[in-house]
Structure 1
């Protein structure tokens, strides 16, 4: 078996469900160290047990030049064993597809990164500058791994390839996302006296929820528009004859460039004001330990985009379309928090985050060749 596939299988066979990344991190560190590289471990503060490391290393050509960041995550989502036809932590190929948790998202991309770095560690004459590798934990959670690398100020690059699983196109932009908490206040009273006595916070929250989902958003020529989604309402007491005097609301907001948390809060407060709830709501950004991801888009004719698309054609003989993603990933952090132009492209497959996830071997191998060719173009001696 070729090394790139052997590593892919090895990684799939390691249970690295988010929260248990240490074995996958150690495996990747050992591989990188075998290339003569020094590997650094990074831990976010909540990981007091040191079980969730991210790792990073630098391959220096010894010649002045720019830096390419290759980045991917080593954690996966969990599994429901009852719904899997194969062992999710034992890679197996069936009819040209390799099954296992992480086979698509994104251990194929990580394997392609490792083999790319192996090649250039043996062929330093083929590039100038540096190749920075970051393999991070908690991407499937709150991206604490990548945010910790930002905090440690160890990620500096001129270009970045996020090896996430999207092979049929290259993403050059993503929406951003914020979450908000709203408390709607009412007035308690005996349920038998309602509506003459009391003010039902659940009813008021329902009115506000409808008003929020009708709010306008900005538009973007490629990312289209933002969205509002009231995901959760909670309040009242089913075991007591009391008119609900408080209701909690959780709101998800996907944004495009030009929209931020302050604008969103302003919009929701104005909606509350218009329906007479202005002084009866408390609207706040939901606290979290990691920053929220903001939207970005790089130019379609950026040299990084052009180089990767040309490399895809060179390797496959096909055209690689440009796309924009309605969700978020660590690419948002690379682009916004670090200011590094980033493209998102890597080996894909099927059933991502679902049962019986699979990836395609030919895509894993092709991506390695495409990464190598892109680096040759942008970091040429």
Structure 2
């Protein structure tokens, strides 16, 4: 078994479900030490028990030049064992697929980063400048691992490849995402005297929810448009015969360039006002411990994009189109918080975040060759 596939298998075999990244981090650190690269651990403040580190490293060619960042996340989503046909923590080959948690998202990409670093650790004459590798925790939840590296000022680069699982195209832009809370106030009263007494906050919240999902959004030539989604409602009374007086609506808001927290809050306030609920509705950005991600897009003719596309064609004989993702990932942090041009491309598969997740060995092998060629083009 070639090294990149073995490391892919090794990583799948490690349970690194959110909250349990330590063993995957230690594996990465051990592999880096084996190739003569010193790993550094980073812990975000919430990780009191130090079980969720990110690992980062730097490989210096010894010659002046630019810096390429290779980054991926070591955490995975949770597993529902009863729905799996195989052991999710034992890589299982069936036909041309390998099944296991993280087989697609994104332990193949991690193996490719490790092997790319190893190649250049043994061939320093083939590049100038530096390579930085980051293996981050918590990406599937709040991206605290990457945000912590930003706070520690550990990430500096001229280019970045996010080794996330997308193989048939290269993502050059992502929407941003915000979350809002809308608190709707009614008036309590005994249900036997309703509706003459009391004002039902659930009914008012329903009107507000319908109005929110009808709100217009901005458009972008590539990222298309923003979206509103009322994701859940909390409130009501279960134990007493009381008219509900408070309900909370939770909103997911995906944004494109030109939309931000202020413009969205203004829309929500205006929607309440049009319904005559101005004094009955509070709107706010949902508090969270890490920043929200903003949208971005880099030019399709950026040298990083072109280098990756050329490398893909050299390896596969096919063209690699550009794409724009409707969701968010740590690429948003690199592009917006750090101003690093980033492309998102890596070995893929199927059943992402689902049961019986799988990846393709040929894509893992190809992406390693593509990463090496891209680094040579830009840092050679």
Shift of 1:239: 3.0
- Aligned equivalent of 1:353: 353
Under a length normalisation based on structure 2, what TM-score does the superposition of the two structures give? 0.99
Question: How many equivalent residue pairs?
Answer: 380
- C-alpha displacement at 1:242, in angstroms? 1.5
Give the Cα–Cα distance (whole angstroms) in 2 for the partners of residues 167 and 199 of structure 1.
54
Alpha-carbon distance in 2 for matches of 1:69, 1:258: 28
Partner of 2:248: 248
Query: 1:310-348: per-residue Cα shift (whole Å, max 9, x none)?
Result: 110011100001100000111111111111000000000
In structure 2, how many angstroms separate the alpha carbons of the residues matched to 1:34 and 1:247?
56
1:232 aligns with 2:248: no
Give distance in 1, aligned partners of 2:81 and 2:195. 50
Q: Which position in structure 1 is the counterpart of 2:106?
A: 106
Partners of 2:272 and 2:319 lie apart in 1 by 49
Aligned residue for 1:195? 195
TM superposition score normalised by structure 1: 0.99
What do the CA deviations read for 1:86-139 (whole angstroms, capped 9, x no partner)?
Answer: 111011211011111101100000000111111011111111100000000001
**What pairs up with 1:36-115 in 2 under 5 angstroms?**
36-115=36-115
Question: Which residue in 1 is equivalent to 2:257?
Answer: 257
1:168 offset after TM fit, Å? 0.4
Equivalent in the alignment of 2:367: 367
1:176 alignment partner in structure 2: 176
Query: 2 CA distance for matches of 1:39 and 1:330?
Result: 21
Superposed, which structure 2 residues align to 1:1-381 within 5 Å?
1-380=1-380
Shift of 1:234: 2.0
Q: In 1, Cα distance between the equivalents of 2:318 and 2:46? A: 45
Question: Within 1, Cα distance between the matches of 2:204 and 2:275?
Answer: 9
Compute the displacement of 1:228 (Å). Answer: 0.3
Q: 4+ runs of 1 displaced by more than 6 Å?
A: none
Distance apart, 1:241 and its partner CA: 2.0
- Report the alpha carbon displacement of residue 240 of structure 1 after superposing the two structures with TM: 2.1
Give distance in 2, aligned partners of 1:140 and 1:114: 21
CA displacement 1:209-231 (0-9 Å, x = unmatched): 11111101100001000000011
Quote how far apart the aligned CAs of 1:245 are.
1.0
Q: Secondary structure at the match of 2:4?
A: helix
Q: Hey, what's the Cα distance between the residues in 2 that align with 1:238 and 1:44?
A: 39
Farther-moved stretch of structure 1 (227-236 vs 103-112): 227-236
Deviation (angstroms), 1:301: 0.6
Q: Which runs of 5+ in 1 are unaligned?
A: none
Instruction: Give the distance between the partners of 1:208 and 1:85, measured in 2 at CA.
Output: 43
Q: Structure 2 unaligned runs (5+)? A: none
Per-residue deviation, residues 3-40 of structure 1 (Å, max 9, x unmatched): 11111110000111110001100101111111111111
